[in-house]
Structure 1
């Protein structure tokens, strides 16, 4: 198995693997989501795969030098060997997901027995850059905080617009007359919109049925000009009832939209 030089993050603390000095560096903190680690020199020298990814992770400030994996490294055992880690108790790192060579997910957990391990934190290596994954509660808090910010901003904008409307209402009579004219213009547009809706509905309705015939012996009223001519033609031929220009106008003409 290939290995890389194992150096602690603080050279002044000494290297327990080379010097045999006790480790004095403290474990990393819990919230380190604002830190990104990348060692380009290491990436140019060694391949980033599942065999060497933990050695690369050990160079970052996320690494806890008191973990069980470090004890296996001191014994020249692969630090991710599950057969040895399952027999130990304490803090350890596990490689949970791998998508070589771009993505590696490392889980920090506390092992109580060979079958029980409690997850603590999660780290991921994306194209050589190491990050700490945020906890779910922090993600929810950030999303809710952002939503509340925009909601508060919307209410502030609405309140400022209402103040402007109130200021316009309290101006002089000339300004009030201009505002009234604007409201009347809006009403005219609304009336036109309603007329357009009613016209479209009327065009969709079927044509009106023909009117019933006049009863026998009924003579509809005639215009004054036609009365003189009717007296001469009354005995020769019967007159047909005139067509109602409003009711009987044949089938409705519908507009065609292509």
Structure 2
């Protein structure tokens, strides 16, 4: 006999008595369901009273209270038993349904439990997807937000590193260098060599310094 985990919520457990499975049929399935080890069976029901008094199940219609009936049978594999509250011989209120598949008893979930389970599963899936998406999100003050996926990281590892191209200098950089060189020229006045007839005097040390500085900062434009 299977061990039973007794909990308030019976939707997560099942029960079976393997000794009954080969002989189950519509005439004895209620007797099988009324086994004392079955956690789904309420021993205060009218079925138990009829059983103790050795009456037939037809007497259930004349009683008031909780009772169990065989609602559907599909031999030899499926039986459905209903728990209901009888208020009169013609009026009953369904309380729960139990289905027996190959001798294993389960409680059928109600509509509220089904909706609650579906909603929890959907919320869990959305939360997991959101957490996984956030793990690929990156931020930097100068770049802003971007996505960084694992496959991109693997491609970057496999991809051979190429030589970094030298970027051309900007107009601001060129103007700044010229300004610094002009300040340097004012602080350290250049010396002039004796020009030939018809030539303008050219500062030899300043010309050399200016070329060296421009070549060091933006060599592309100076070539």
Q: Same-fold call, TM > 0.5?
A: yes
Q: Are 1:33 and 2:21 matched, yes or no?
A: no
Between structures 1 and 2, the one with greater strand share:
2
Question: What is the Cα deviation at residue 110 of structure 1?
Answer: 0.6
Q: Are 1:127 and 2:102 matched, yes or no?
A: yes
Listed as ranges, the gaps of 5+ residues in structure 1 are: 1-27, 172-258
- The residue that corresponds to 2:29 in the other structure is 53
Please report the TM-score for the alignment, with normalisation by the length of structure 2: 0.56
Specify whether residues 132 and 99 from structure 1 end up closer, same or farther in structure 2 by C-alpha distance, changes over 3 A only. Answer: same
What do the CA deviations read for 1:127-160 (whole angstroms, capped 9, x no partner)?
0001111221111111101101111122222223
- The residue that corresponds to 2:55 in the other structure is 77
- The residue that corresponds to 1:191 in the other structure is none
Which SS does the other structure have where 1:39 is aligned?
coil
- The residue that corresponds to 2:77 in the other structure is 102
Please report the TM-score for the alignment, with normalisation by the length of structure 1: 0.49
**Structure 2 Cα separation of the partners of residues 123 and 149 of structure 1:** 29
**Structure 2 Cα separation of the partners of residues 107 and 135 of structure 1:** 13
- The residue that corresponds to 2:174 in the other structure is none
Q: Are 1:160 and 2:135 matched, yes or no?
A: yes
Aligned length: 138
Query: Does the Cα contact within 8 Å between 2:20 and 2:103 map onto a contact in 1?
Result: no
**Structure 1 Cα separation of the partners of residues 103 and 7 of structure 2:** 22
Listed as ranges, the gaps of 5+ residues in structure 2 are: 1-5, 145-223
Question: What is the Cα deviation at residue 42 of structure 1?
Answer: 2.9
| Correspondence for 2:66 among 83, 91, 102 | 91
Query: Does the Cα contact within 8 Å between 2:81 and 2:98 map onto a contact in 1?
Result: yes
- The residue that corresponds to 2:91 in the other structure is 116
Which SS does the other structure have where 1:144 is aligned?
helix
**Structure 1 Cα separation of the partners of residues 141 and 108 of structure 2:** 53
Root-mean-square deviation (CA), in Å?
2.5
Query: Does the Cα contact within 8 Å between 2:62 and 2:89 map onto a contact in 1?
Result: yes
**Structure 1 Cα separation of the partners of residues 127 and 95 of structure 2:** 35
Specify whether residues 73 and 29 from structure 1 end up closer, same or farther in structure 2 by C-alpha distance, changes over 3 A only. Answer: farther
Question: What is the Cα deviation at residue 167 of structure 1?
Answer: 4.9
- The residue that corresponds to 1:146 in the other structure is 121
Question: What is the Cα deviation at residue 101 of structure 1?
Answer: 1.2
Specify whether residues 157 and 167 from structure 1 end up closer, same or farther in structure 2 by C-alpha distance, changes over 3 A only. Answer: farther
